[in-house]
Amino acid sequence: MNAFEKTAGAGGEGDISNRINITDEWKEARNVINNCDSQVSDIRKYGLSFVSGLLAAQGLIEFPLKSASQVVPDSVKLSILIASYLLIVGIFDLDRKARNTQRAAAHRACMLEGRSGLQLGLTQLISKSYGSEAAVTSADVLYLVFVGATTILGLAVLGITSLTPSFDLVVLLVFAGGTAAVVYLFGHTNRLRRFL
């Protein structure tokens, strides 16, 4: 009899069904944790690679095409920068949802381990790492770095050399600030609660 089969009760037919359900649910919770790990990795790998490609394209936009008369208008440059910010927010949201699913699955697996008497401690360790501020903050820093890189590149691409108010500067800073605020405030639920 393994640890999952050691549940409290008289050992009737209902207990056998309960043991099977707990074992199956625990396995499914662990599968969700593993699948979400893969999803988060893919979201960061492909999503941020796409953002990097978009940032590289923005850098190339700064150079005139073939002649000085074929320069890309600032409105097109600004539109690409705005699309970059929106893409960063979208990737961040997908990442955040996958991390929350991981956190919930790890919490459920810990509860099932406690109920079944299995004391591996592995799920508790995983659960602590998903719930810690440090694990979430490192992911948030990654997104904030992309927001900063997009903003710095945007200043260069739009030819903004001073902080004299202009339409392009205001729009760029509003989107940069908004994107950074979304990443910071929604990166960890405790931050949003403290802010509100």
Contact 10, 124 (CB under 8 A): no
Instruction: State whether residue 160 is helix, strand or coil.
Output: coil
In the structure encoding, which two tokens stand for residue 11, read together?
């050992």
pLDDT per position as a tens digit, 107-134: 777 777 776 666 666 666 666 665 555 5
Q: What is the pLDDT of residue 171?
A: 92
pLDDT per position as a tens digit, 141-184: 888 998 998 898 888 888 888 878 889 889 999 999 999 998 88
Contact 143, 92 (CB under 8 A): yes
Q: What percent of the chain has pLDDT over 90?
A: 9
Burial class (CB in 10 A: 0-12, 13-18, 19+), 102: buried
HSE (CB half, 13 Å, CA atoms) of 35?
9
In the structure encoding, which two tokens stand for residue 57, read together?
């394209």
Q: Can you give the length of the chain in residues?
A: 196
Residue with tokens 């990442």: 95
Q: What is the pLDDT of residue 130?
A: 57
Tell me which DSSP letter residue 149 carries. H
In the structure encoding, which two tokens stand for residue 175, read together?
């989107």
Three-state secondary structure of 62-94: CCCCCCHHHCCCHHHHHHHHHHHHHHHHHHHHH
CA 73 – CA 62 distance, rounded (Å): 10
In the predicted model, what is the mean pLDDT of the chain? Answer: 75
Contact 157, 57 (CB under 8 A): no
- Give pTM, 2 decimals: 0.72
Q: What is the pLDDT of residue 163?
A: 77
Q: What is the pLDDT of residue 196?
A: 56
Residues 6+ apart with CB under 8 A from 41: none
